Chains A and B, each alone.
Chain A
Amino acid sequence: MNKPDSHEADLLRNYIDTERAEKAPEDFTSRVMSGIRLENEKYGLKKGILARNIVPAVSGIVTVSLIILASVLPGNSGEPLPLIRFIQNINIQIPKIDLDLISTFELPEWIPYVFIGVFFLGLFDMGISGLFHRAGKQ
């Protein structure tokens, strides 16, 4: 019956000019790439809040961890941990909070340095985040 693989006696081939091909419009690639960039940004928005704000999230987690550590670690006086002291002072029968504990609460000496470090790390994070954001847009 039909032999489409064979080019013999294929009358249609007499009409078809296989060399005739049109080129895509000149600005085709740039238009596609604009769409792709938009798509990429849109996809970025679909990501979770944590994924979109990974840099400030990490900074926040580090800061909170340091604050927790500061309240748990012992001070320089060699007394028991402030948290343990707090727990020891809780009267189970009648829960009582020792308000003096607040005034005697002592932070380790290195804490101010950590906060300064976190502050500068935060600035550094913001800087590289901006840099990556700009590079991603290009």
Chain B
Amino acid sequence: MRQMNGMDHNADIKYIEQVLGGRIESFGYLVDRYKDRTYNLALRVCGNREEAEEVAQDVFMKVFRSLKGFKKKSSFATWIYRIAYNTAISYVRNKKKSVLSLEDFPADVSDFGGINISEAEAEKEYRNALVNFALKKINEDERGLITLFYYEEMNTEEISVLTGISKSNVKVKLFRARQKMLEIIKNVEKKKFKYHEQA
């Protein structure tokens, strides 16, 4: 997990105590500090910005409501990401989503015509679109695990603590999710190759 130092933890605790003491405006500091990572986690799990924003807001409301129950010796970051992970997964689970087919991935996504970017940047954009598409195609649990492992750079032990899934199960689930995503990416690239051959 991205490292947090003791000073950050102490600052978090200081603001938490202020909020608990009635200065609710101090909660703004905690929101400012964790909003981007919470939003990104929600964005990867939900797949779109509007929903991610809704989920991220919901996360902070939940954090505020249960702030009294937070044990100050534990990491606030881990606590908030646990809430974010569970909220995002539940949100997606409760929302009936249509299943994407390979046809939903635009074949010309690599054509960044009119956009003044280098070939390397275009390739980066394409890969990102590809990964986002593959992420949308796997289930929400797998999406959450992939996000925590790759984007939040957590190891399986940390993921296990955060999600409550055993470490060995995290490994198995990650392996399956990775295989699924690579399969999807491979298929999309095949489709792209055919599209460019025809064009």
Q: Which residues does A use to contact B, with CB under 8 Å? A: 1-5, 10-18, 20-25, 28-29, 31-33, 35-37, 39-40, 136, 138
Q: Is the CB of A28 within 8 A of B182?
A: no
Q: Is the CB of A18 within 8 A of B153?
A: yes
Task: Say how far A75's CB is from chain B's closest CB, in angstroms.
Answer: 47
Task: Say how far B20's CB is from chain A's closest CB, in angstroms.
Answer: 12
Chain B's closest residue to A28 (CB) is B35
Q: Is the CB of A25 within 8 A of B151?
A: no
On chain A, the residues within 8 Å of B13 by CB distance are none
Q: List 14 A-B contacts (CB under 8 A).
A: A4-B149, A4-B171, A12-B131, A15-B130, A16-B151, A17-B128, A17-B131, A24-B35, A24-B56, A25-B53, A28-B57, A29-B32, A33-B31, A39-B65
Of the residues B53, B151, B174, B175, contact of A21 by C-beta under 8 Å: B151
Task: Say how far A95's CB is from chain B's closest CB, in angstroms.
Answer: 55
* Total CB contacts across the A-B interface at under 8 A: 96
Task: Say how far B83's CB is from chain A's closest CB, in angstroms.
Answer: 14
* Alpha-carbon distance A13/B22, docked complex (angstroms): 45
Q: Is the CB of B127 within 8 A of A15?
A: yes
Number of B interface residues, CB 8 Å? 43
B64 interface residue per 8 A CB criterion: yes
Q: Is the CB of A15 within 8 A of B185?
A: yes
Of the residues A2, A13, A28, A29, contact of B150 by C-beta under 8 Å: A13
B155 interface residue per 8 A CB criterion: yes
Task: Say how far A37's CB is from chain B's closest CB, in angstroms.
Answer: 7
Task: Say how far A20's CB is from chain B's closest CB, in angstroms.
Answer: 6
Q: Is the CB of B61 within 8 A of A10?
A: no
* Alpha-carbon distance A40/B170, docked complex (angstroms): 38
Residue of B32, B43, B146, B150 contacting most chain A CB atoms (<10 Å): B150
